[in-house]
Chain A
Amino acid sequence: MNDAPRHAAKDPGPPLRADPHRGAQRLASVVAALAGSLLLLFLAAPIAELVSAGGAEGLRRLGSDAELRSSLLLTAFTATAATLVGVVCGTPLAFVLARREFPGRAVLSAVLDLPLLVPHPVAGIALLLLLGRESAVGGAALDLGLRIVGTPLGIIAAMLFVSAPLFVSGAREAFAKVDPRYEGVARTLGDPPWRAFRRVTLPLAGRGLLASAVVMWARAVSEFGAIVILTYNPKVASVLSYDRFTSFGLSEALPVAAVLALLALVPLTLLRALRTSRPDER
């Protein structure tokens, strides 16, 4: 007779063994979290300190300090003008770099990245050499009645030099993300290249282009080194902040610097909104 129970107990299998690496993994996680938090604190604390110390005063001074107001307006105007020039001239360049294979493409890309690597006062000196009244370009512009150095044009030139590569790089990436087969389909549906670009490529790359323009604008607003060499006066906000610091000390520079930091929140918010990712649609 079979004495075995009709329903044998379910085999629990081999006992679970403790993972010998579990403790080390937990420690690594804690160290990584700590390192990340420290960096975050290091980046955020100075700005928070600046805004809390001078933000209210800076906003109050917007009503009473005419120089600060005109400096901010000049900053916004020149940064916008530099961005517009960068977008108009940089978009076709970015498209060509994203779409076409040609000899020297890598060299061209490297040249475009160069302004990002040059120290900004050095960029200012280089621009002064190119656009100063003694130079061929600056002299020719003067003959046409255009003075570059020491005018808003100089500010725009400095801003364009240091920030346009950021737009071209971002725009190139935005175009590269658009599958050329979309354009191909548009062409077979009757569009010549320009119309396919306007109706298909541009809308599909639009968010990336806009985000790149915002990055360029923000970089232009924050520029100091090249501008201070090319055009000290009229003063953009960064130069004004430096000028107040060297002439009157920290207490006078603080409100200007705080307003600039608050201004930086505008492109930051825009970028957040634009970078909300959308899945690829085919």
Chain B
Amino acid sequence: MIRLEGVTARKGRFRLDGVSFEVRRGEYGVVIGPAGSGKTTLLEVVAGLLAPIGGRVTLSGVEMGSAPPESRGVGLVYQHAFLFPHLTVRANVAYGAADDGTLREAADRMGVTALFGREVRGLSGGERQLVALARALARRPRLLLLDEPFSALDPRRRTLIRREVRALHREWGLTTLQVTHDFAEAGMLGDQAILLDGGRVLQAGTPAEVFRRPASPYVAEFLGAENIFSGTARDLGEAAPDWVDGRPADLAHGHRAFAFQTEGLTLYAVGDFAAGAGHAVIRAEEITIARDHAHDSARNRFAGRVTEVASLGALTRVTVDVRGTPLIAALTTRSAHELAIEPGLAVVATFKAMAVHLC
């Protein structure tokens, strides 16, 4: 278990400020944030390499205080690997190995046994990361701290190693904290996602929760939400209107219906929100595009004209102008072809009230 409570730490001019979150025993936590957000500093605080100036760090149920790194049972992998250049690959992996068996298993699982006789200076960036992973795992740590550990791997190897690390995490009962700037990676690996920026935790929760319910427009934007509008939300009252997926009883406990007024558009939303000024967030993949007014249960329905079509491989990003407000939808490229979407085409954009998140 990794628990941080109000942790403040300083590294040069950078400051981690009142960081709190918990990754429970056996969970895989992912810290997401842009470059310079304090992700690596956070790992160094957990590892005991940087002493916090405030707050508490508790690992495996024990408050660490000023416990040195060697007594914390952590394995740390930096993005740049930091292999010891005066040692061979084997000597690197064996550096802190728990025993021969663990050394062999870690090396085999990370696929570096064949590199054992090599000097560090001859390794590629990806090979270095694999050796660094094997070195940290060979110690059989209770807690694994990973700093962008897959960034130098080619896509195929990245997928394999991600899977392998996740499997080892499960088999060995590790508690893992990984930092990344890639939300997709967080979604694939993490049980917990912690969003960090400017040394502060912006939001923490399951990746699905953070993804669906960003705490602020900044978080939404960081997580790749394309449609973010500022405006005012008005509570439509206790009784759910008849447009909420059929029956009022279907409205989850505590959820209410809202009308969100933004420039020229009224969006309908359902959820546990507060009325007043704020932002509405709709992910592009929640918006569907049709050439005419098809009948479905979606409450939000806007006629507009396509202004931009950008193909991104399997997905196509379509921008629709609705009375001066751009709505961005993500369609499969196949659907876009079938609909013959092109700039200037009149279309109808629809999305459900449940797809509108107010923050």
Contact A281-B70, Cβ < 8 Å, known A186-B95, A190-B139: no
- Asked if B135 contacts A282 (CB within 8 A), the reply is no
User: Is the CB of B303 closer than 8 A to any CB of chain A?
Assistant: no
**Which residues of the other chain, B, contact A182 by a CB distance below 8 angstroms?**
82, 84
- Asked if B95 contacts A189 (CB within 8 A), the reply is yes
**CB of A208, distance to nearest CB on chain B (Å):** 13
Which residues in window 64-86 of B have CB below 8 A to A?
Answer: 68-70, 72, 74-76, 78, 80-86
Residue on A nearest B47 in the bound complex, by CB: A188
Residue on B nearest A189 in the bound complex, by CB: B96
- 23 A-B pairs within 8 Å (CB atoms) are namely A179-B82, A181-B78, A181-B82, A182-B82, A182-B84, A184-B44, A184-B47, A184-B76, A184-B82, A185-B82, A185-B135, A186-B95, A187-B69, A188-B47, A188-B70, A188-B76, A189-B136, A190-B70, A193-B68, A279-B121, A281-B120, A282-B83, A282-B85
Tell which of A179, A186, A281 touches B121, judged by Cβ atoms closer than 8 Å.
A281
Residue on B nearest A200 in the bound complex, by CB: B84
A interface residues, Cβ below 8 angstroms from B: 179, 181-182, 184-193, 199-200, 203-204, 279, 281-282
**Which residues of the other chain, A, contact B85 by a CB distance below 8 angstroms?**
204, 281-282
**Which residues of the other chain, B, contact A181 by a CB distance below 8 angstroms?**
78, 82
Complex CA distance for A71 and B311, rounded to whole angstroms: 84
Complex CA distance for A187 and B48, rounded to whole angstroms: 9
Contact A282-B80, Cβ < 8 Å, known A186-B95, A188-B136: yes
- Asked if B96 contacts A191 (CB within 8 A), the reply is yes
Main secondary structure on A side of the interface with B = helix
Tell which of B76, B86, B121 touches A185, judged by Cβ atoms closer than 8 Å.
B76
**CB of B163, distance to nearest CB on chain A (Å):** 24
Complex CA distance for A192 and B96, rounded to whole angstroms: 12
**Which residues of the other chain, B, contact A184 by a CB distance below 8 angstroms?**
44, 47, 49, 69, 76, 82
Main secondary structure on B side of the interface with A = loop
Chain B interface residue number, banded: 20 to 34
User: Is the CB of B256 closer than 8 A to any CB of chain A?
Assistant: no
Complex CA distance for A198 and B74, rounded to whole angstroms: 21
Complex CA distance for A16 and B47, rounded to whole angstroms: 62
**Which residues of the other chain, B, contact A189 by a CB distance below 8 angstroms?**
70, 75, 95-96, 135-136, 139
Q: Which of B69, B81, B85, B128 has the most CB of A within 10 A?
A: B69
Complex CA distance for A273 and B95, rounded to whole angstroms: 29
**Which residues of the other chain, B, contact A281 by a CB distance below 8 angstroms?**
83, 85, 120-121
Known: A188-B139, A203-B86, A281-B120. 12 other contacts (CB 8 A): A181-B82, A182-B82, A184-B82, A185-B78, A187-B68, A188-B75, A189-B95, A190-B96, A204-B84, A281-B85, A282-B83, A282-B85
Interface string of B22-55 (1 = CB under 8 A from A): 0000000000000000000000100111000000
**CB of A38, distance to nearest CB on chain B (Å):** 41
Complex CA distance for A187 and B95, rounded to whole angstroms: 11
**Which residues of the other chain, B, contact A186 by a CB distance below 8 angstroms?**
84, 95-96
Complex CA distance for A87 and B124, rounded to whole angstroms: 37
Complex CA distance for A186 and B49, rounded to whole angstroms: 11
Tell which of B49, B78, B86, B135 touches A187, judged by Cβ atoms closer than 8 Å.
B49
